[in-house]
Amino acid sequence: MTAIIESQDRTPRRTQRTYSRWASLVVLCAGTLMTILDGNIVTVAMPAVQSDLGFSASGLAWVVNAYLIAFGGLLLLAGRLGDLVGRKRMFTAGLAVFTGASVLCGVATGQGVLIAARALQGVGGAMSSAVVLGMLVPLFPEPREQARAIAVFSAVGAGGASLGTFLGGALTEALNWHWIFLINLPIGIVAWVAAARVLTPDRGEGLGKGADYPGAALVTAALMLTVYVIVGAGDREAAATVLLAALAVVLFVAFIVRQARIERPLLRLRLFRSRMLSGANAVQILMIGTMYGFQFIAALYLQRVLGYGELLTGTAFLPAPVLIGALMLGLSARAIGRFGAYRVLLGGLVLIVVGMGLLSRAPVDGAYVTDVLPSLLLLGAGFAAAMPALTGLAMAGVREEDAGVASGLFNTTQVVGGSLGLAVLSVLAAGRTEGLVDGGAARLVATAEGYRLAFGVGTGIAVVALGVAAGLLRPGRK
């Protein structure tokens, strides 16, 4: 009888713990969705922002890059601070900063204010995003449940990226571009209240353990300079570009040397002894670079070559988040459980290569159904397979005390890949277009040719990602 009573007493507790874990996952996904949406929602609105605020072509890229650089540059520091002060505190504080910065973006009437507010959004996004995986993985220690939770989280992230393109077009055309930022105010308030109520407080190591602020300054400066070098390469002398690139390398080396010598580093270099962690982050830089560059260039192709408006462009991307959500929530975790993360990752990368390859032939008189939609579906399916598998491989075997930093590192390489992919592919497309126009080609034909070059280079990057994954992430390889 006593055993029966104890069993009955334990069941509600297990149910409550399960409920709390999945409720926490919903809150973490909601916060992540807001930051990812905002990282992509601006893409379709770029022509409207340029027209309203008078941005130059190169200056317009900084509306995106100001966010990405601040976000990517501060993720490691935010992850470390989350370990020190508590991940819940860092997450909720990040939501508050991000929401406030969104309001500043929405009321901006000048270029400088918008770029500065976008950078502040990046700060808030880094604070909240850096600790998410470090909070999520310990919630689901059982492998099958963890695979399901990561699939849900990845579906929100991947679907949110494409959904942001649709919402950006809809809000810009129905209202104006300011509302792509102002919409975050009610969402941010709800997410903050839910996080404060649902997430379990955690005790960090204490600020006395220290955070490497000089190291954060070095890595942030290095990332900013790297993207600046790539974005402005066509507007300066080659010697200046080489000099700035060398300076960026020096900053990265100084950061690494500092991390190796100080007692409490921002990034523990021993983490890179893990082949899985290092390989997964390398693959992510390449894969996200391909996908982010595709999203930006494909939106421009639809608008500037096929003549789509903002709303129609956003709608054209909508099949991707629907497919990604359906596959990640329904099949990805099962496929990983049956075939293993390595095989699922390789299959997803193959689909990405094929999808980008098809886009590299997009003609000037193309049609959405035959020239864009097949690639969109292949890329969506490939990403739905690859991203959850890659996330699981990256976090496998990470120690609890390193979870925050490892999470920050994984998010950092994601943002670095996106920023560099956007910069490289957009610069190549613009350079090819202007070269053809100077040679006498029609602007429309030259623009299409520039985008085809960008898609072709993106295909090559995806092939490299596939090769790195096959070589470094094979199970059992020493």
- CA-nearest of 247, 161, 240 to 421 is 161
**CB-CB contact of 332 with 390 (8 Å):** no
78-110 in b/e burial notation, b at 16+ Cβ within 10 A? bbbbbbbbbbbbbbbbbbbbbbbbbebbbebee
pTM above 0.85, yes or no: no
What pLDDT score does 57 carry? 65
What pLDDT score does 6 carry? 39
**CB-CB contact of 327 with 152 (8 Å):** no
DSSP string spanning 23-87? HHHHHHHHHHHHHHHHHHHHHHHHHHHHHHHT--HHHHHHHHHHHHHHHHHHHHHHHHHHHHH-H
How far is the first Cα of the chain from the last one, in angstroms, to the nearest whole number? 53
What pLDDT score does 4 carry? 39
Alpha helices in 86-142 (DSSP H): 87-107, 111-129, 132-139
For the chain, counts of helices (H) and of strands (E): 18, 0
**What value, to the nearest 5°, has the Cα angle with vertex 32 and ends 28 and 36?**
170
CA distances from 194 to 18, 197, 198 (A): 17, 5, 6
The rounded radius of gyration (Å) of the Cα atoms in the chain is 22
Count the residues in the chain. Answer: 478
Give the integer Cα–Cα distance in Å for 241 and 235.
9
Residue 334 buriedness (CB in 10 A; 0-12 / 13-18 / 19+): middle
Residue 162 tokens read as: 């494409």
HSE (side-chain half, CA atoms, 13 Å) at 244: 18
What pLDDT score does 399 carry? 67
Task: Break the chain down into helix, strand, coil percent, rounded to 5.
Answer: 85, 0, 15
CA distances from 105 to 33, 93, 99, 111, 119 (A): 18, 19, 10, 10, 10
**CB-CB contact of 48 with 172 (8 Å):** yes
Query: Amino acid identity of 380?
Result: G
Residue 304 tokens read as: 């500037």
**CB-CB contact of 324 with 158 (8 Å):** yes
The per-residue pLDDT string of the chain (478 residues; one tens digit each, 9 = 90 and over) reads 444 333 444 444 444 344 477 788 888 888 777 777 776 677 777 778 877 787 776 677 778 778 877 777 777 777 777 777 777 888 888 889 999 998 998 888 888 888 899 889 988 888 887 777 777 777 776 767 777 777 777 777 666 666 676 777 777 777 888 888 888 888 888 888 888 887 777 665 655 556 677 887 887 788 777 767 765 655 667 777 788 889 989 998 998 898 888 877 777 777 777 778 788 888 989 998 898 888 888 888 888 888 887 778 777 887 887 787 778 766 776 787 788 888 889 999 999 999 999 988 888 888 888 888 999 899 988 988 888 888 878 776 666 666 666 766 777 787 778 777 877 888 888 888 888 888 888 888 888 889 999 999 999 999 999 999 988 888 765 5
Dmax over Cα atoms in the chain, in whole Å? 91
What pLDDT score does 8 carry? 41
